[in-house]
């Protein structure tokens, strides 16, 4: 299965446009971005949630800076969601959870993500030895 830009172009451009048009993070923004991510995810085989959310955060940074929605990878899936891998059906729950924690702690999403990732990575690393 060869990568074909023409297959995903419409979905990727929609994701980018949605990401750069968001002016603040709230439930509406999370739903809007999730719908675009989900559309892209199901349009391409072998494109994982972690890869797509890395692109999502990159593009959202252009509009909301440090409140860009966090990357959802296997480390965050294990530590936050108690799942073995990052799956699309957990993404919206993960984003909403991170958003609520950031509001409660009065910290931006990027700082929260970095702090949690650092603790999670260290914890998971220590368990494997």
Enumerate the domain spans of the chain.
5-127
Coil, helix or strand for 50?
helix
Helices 49-64 + 88-105 axis angle, to 10: 40
Q: What is the pLDDT of residue 129?
A: 41
- pTM of model > 0.85: yes
Alpha-carbon distance values, 32 to 16, 80, 88, 107, 121 (Å): 12, 22, 14, 22, 29
Residue 32's nearest CA partner among 7, 64, 3 is 64
69 DSSP assignment: P
72 DSSP assignment: -
Can you spell out the DSSP letters for 107-127? --HHHHHHHHHHHHHHHHHHH
Coil, helix or strand for 84?
coil
- Per-position pLDDT tens, the chain of length 129: 566 788 889 999 999 999 999 999 999 999 999 999 999 999 887 789 999 999 999 999 999 999 999 999 999 998 889 999 999 999 999 999 999 999 999 999 999 999 998 998 888 778 754
């Amino acid at each position: 299965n060869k990568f074909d830009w023409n297959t995903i172009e419409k979905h990727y451009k929609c994701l980018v446009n949605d990401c750069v048009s968001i002016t603040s993070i709230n439930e509406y923004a999370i739903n809007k971005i999730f719908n675009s991510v989900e559309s892209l995810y199901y349009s391409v085989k072998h494109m994982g949630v972690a890869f797509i959310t890395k692109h999502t955060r990159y593009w959202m940074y252009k509009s909301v800076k440090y409140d860009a929605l966090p990357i959802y990878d296997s480390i965050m899936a294990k530590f936050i969601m108690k799942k073995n891998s990052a799956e699309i059906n957990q993404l919206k729950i993960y984003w909403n959870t991170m958003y609520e924690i950031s509001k409660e702690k009065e910290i931006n999403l990027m700082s929260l993500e970095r702090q949690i990732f650092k603790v999670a990575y260290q914890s998971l690393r220590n368990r494997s030895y």
